[in-house]
A and B are shown apart, each in its own frame.
Chain A
């Protein structure tokens, strides 16, 4: 009985200390989603369904803060790209330049869903890709694989060449 009472009062002190420590040292917040989620475009050869490696790719986003902005600059051997969409507009346009004379334009129609993650990770923008229109200079067709865009890791759009 007396031992229990001692334990109780020791416990009160310990619990306060443990409570503080556990609160402070608990599971750390995973803020991996708090960057800017962008749809991932994977490039595929239509005839073989194998990964397409583009020798050179420059991506220009249209109607940005600076007019037209280069998102990807003459990257070599490109098999995929994560490309940002607008927070405000529901249609984002971008140009895929393969060379000086060859390019395709894509228009991505999307819903924008601002999302509160937590006090530590803040607010981010999720998207729902609804439609992708494109020119067909080099692109054969485009398929939406995962319409929800919440990370940069998952394939969202497949571009067939």
Chain B
């Protein structure tokens, strides 16, 4: 009887001893799992889709008190889910009259640049981004005014210059966000800081409005609010 009890105890101890490493391994495994979440690294192909956007903010500029209206289409390509080379093509116009001066202009503009996806590790279309653009516009404008009166010497000078031609170059730094709203449809906005590089002046006038840049100042701020569609083909 004593032998049976002893053998029984030995068996239990042996069982416990043999099973200890297994428990210990399981515990270690649980500890490791709780400490480090192993996330499989997403590897993105070079090409991840093409996006087409339409800016609505420029179209509604008049409603917000702007003297300028513009419409703009953008095309960008997702490379490695990190880099988004962008081409933006737009058309801007103004028709303003103040202090007996009227100014009219309408012209296309172009921007090229790149967005950098700040959330490139995540596999979804929504993301925050930083970016830059180089902008260019070749334009013509009409400016006319009531005559310029000479209040010291006598006489007055008529002022009317039609079809004045010029061109402008500028750079933009921007921060933006785009979010998927339904399947391939996204919305996005961007805030832009624009810096003038050069604007050609004419003998009788300095261009006042630069399509895509805004008023002819050394710096401008801009906003875009876009509807974006991801083209269905890969």
| Chain A residues near B (Cβ < 8 Å) | 1, 4-5, 7-8, 11-12, 15-16, 18-20, 22-23, 26-27, 29, 36, 61, 63-65, 69, 84, 86-89, 92, 112-120, 122-123, 125
Q: How far is the CA of A122 from the CA of B102 in the complex (A)?
A: 10
Check: B107 CB closer than 8 A to any chain A CB.
no
B221 proximal to A (CB < 8 A) = yes
Residues of chain B lying within 8 A (CB to CB) of residue A27: 217-220
Q: Are A19 and B204 in contact (CB under 8 A)?
A: no
In the assembled complex, the CB of A118 is this many whole angstroms from the nearest CB of chain B, namely 5
Q: Are A16 and B191 in contact (CB under 8 A)?
A: no
Query: B221: which A residues are within 8 A, CB to CB?
Result: 18-19, 22-23, 26
| Most-contacted residue by chain B among A7, A19, A120 (CB, 10 A) | A19
A11: chain B residues at CB < 8 Å are 177, 189
Tell me which residues across on chain B come within 8 A of A88, comparing CB atoms: 150, 153-157
Contact of B152 among A8, A23, A61 (CB under 8 A): A61
Look across to chain A and name the residue whose beta carbon is closest to the beta carbon of B193: A22
Q: How far is the CB of B94 from chain A (nearest CB, A)?
A: 9
Which of B143, B216, B221, B223 has the most A CB atoms < 10 Å from its CB?
A: B223
Instruction: Return chain A residues, CB-CB under 8 Å to B187.
Output: 8, 12
A23 to B67, CA, bound (A): 10
A116 touches B180 (CB 8 A): no
* Majority-rule SS of B interface residues: strand
Q: CB of B26 within 8 A of chain A?
A: no
Contacts of A23 in B (CB 8 A): 64-66, 221
Which of B99, B143, B177 makes the CB contact (< 8 A) with A4? B177
**B143 CB, min distance to chain A CBs, angstroms:** 5
Q: What's the Cα separation between A22 and B64 when bound, in Å?
A: 12
Bound CA–CA A125/B222 (angstroms): 33
What is the bound-complex CA distance between A117 and B156, given in angstroms?
18
Cβ of B99 and Cβ of A1 under 8 Å apart?
no
Q: Could you say which residues of chain B place their CB within 8 Å of the CB of A26?
A: 215, 217, 219-221
Q: Known contacts A8-B188, A15-B189, A123-B159; is A116 also within 8 Å of B152 by CB?
A: no
Q: In the bound complex, what is the Cα–Cα distance between A63 and B153 (angstroms)?
A: 7
Task: Pull 23 A–B residue pairs with CB atoms less than 8 Å apart, ordered by A.
Answer: A4-B127, A7-B177, A8-B177, A8-B179, A12-B189, A16-B223, A19-B223, A22-B221, A26-B219, A27-B218, A61-B152, A64-B154, A86-B152, A87-B150, A87-B156, A114-B148, A114-B159, A116-B101, A116-B206, A118-B215, A119-B67, A119-B101, A122-B99
Say whether A65 contacts B103, CB under 8 Å: no
> Who on chain B is nearest to A11 by CB?
B189
Min distance, Cβ B17 to any Cβ of chain A, angstroms: 51
Q: Which A residues are in CB contact (< 8 Å) with B178? A: 8
Residues of A within 8 A of B156 (CB): 87-88
Closest 3 CB pairs of A and B: A88-B155, A22-B221, A87-B150
CA distance A61 to B154 in the complex (A): 12
Question: Is B98 at the interface (CB under 8 A from chain A)?
Answer: yes
List, in ascending order, chain B residues with CB within 8 A of A115's CB.
203-206
A61 to B153, CA, bound (A): 9
Given known contacts A15-B191, A15-B223, A86-B153, is B208 in contact with A119 (CB within 8 Å)?
A: yes
B70 vs chain A, min Cβ distance (A): 13
**Contact A87-B188, Cβ < 8 Å, known A4-B177, A15-B223, A15-B225:** no
